[in-house]
Amino acid sequence: MRHVRGGGFTLIEVLVALAIVAIGMAAVMGALTSSANMISYLRDKTLAQWVALNQIANLRLSGQQPPAGTSNGDTDFAGRSWHWRQEVVATEVPGVERIDISVRPSEVKAGEDNGWFTTVSGIWGDAIGTPNGFQPDWGTQTVGGPASPGTLGGAQAPTTPGTVPPPGAQNPPGSK
């Protein structure tokens, strides 16, 4: 007696193929879930940075010197509620303060030192540097005129003793 085998798959082959497909689909679903979570986190991190930047801009626009120390607050932005913490500290430059704004979604409950999505730093101040008497010689600029090597808009490029003139320029007096 002869056994005739049909052209189909055996039950074992079908089960092995289904197991391979199930493992592959689980890996694809895991990758999609991870990608969706990362996109959501990056969106929230970007919005938190915008909240912090808005807070610094509001401080600057108020024209009032922010009080030194730490303060907290909540704000609504992009359809969500955000919690922020502001730290104002003096710098070594008189009249200049550093402002650090940390932001997280209001629903994130964490300690004061963790759970923040972002921290943005800014500067507030009215310090003015004292002049040191140095005035650079920017040369003369003219409108039009053909420019040739060693000139700036048709005028001779400035040179000072002890400097190397630009290529094509004449040597300044007293140089070799």
pLDDT for the residue 46: 95
Does the pLDDT at position 150 exceed 70?
Answer: no
Ordered by start, the domain boundaries in the chain are 41-125
CATH architecture for the domain at 41-125 = 2-Layer Sandwich (3.30)
Pair 173, 162: CB distance under 8 Å = no
Token pair in block for residue 18:
């289904």
Pair 149, 118: CB distance under 8 Å = no
**Under 8 Å CB-to-CB from 114, ≥6 apart: which residues?**
none
pLDDT for the residue 142: 65
Nearest-angstrom CA–CA distance, 104 and 85: 9
Q: Which of 22-26, 94-98, 169-173 has the highest mean pLDDT?
A: 22-26
pLDDT mean across residues, the chain? 81
- Of the given ranges (83-97, 117-131, 160-174), which has the lowest mean pLDDT? 160-174
The string of pLDDT tens digits covering residues 121-140 is 999 887 666 666 666 666 77
Q: Please state the pTM of the whole predicted model.
A: 0.59
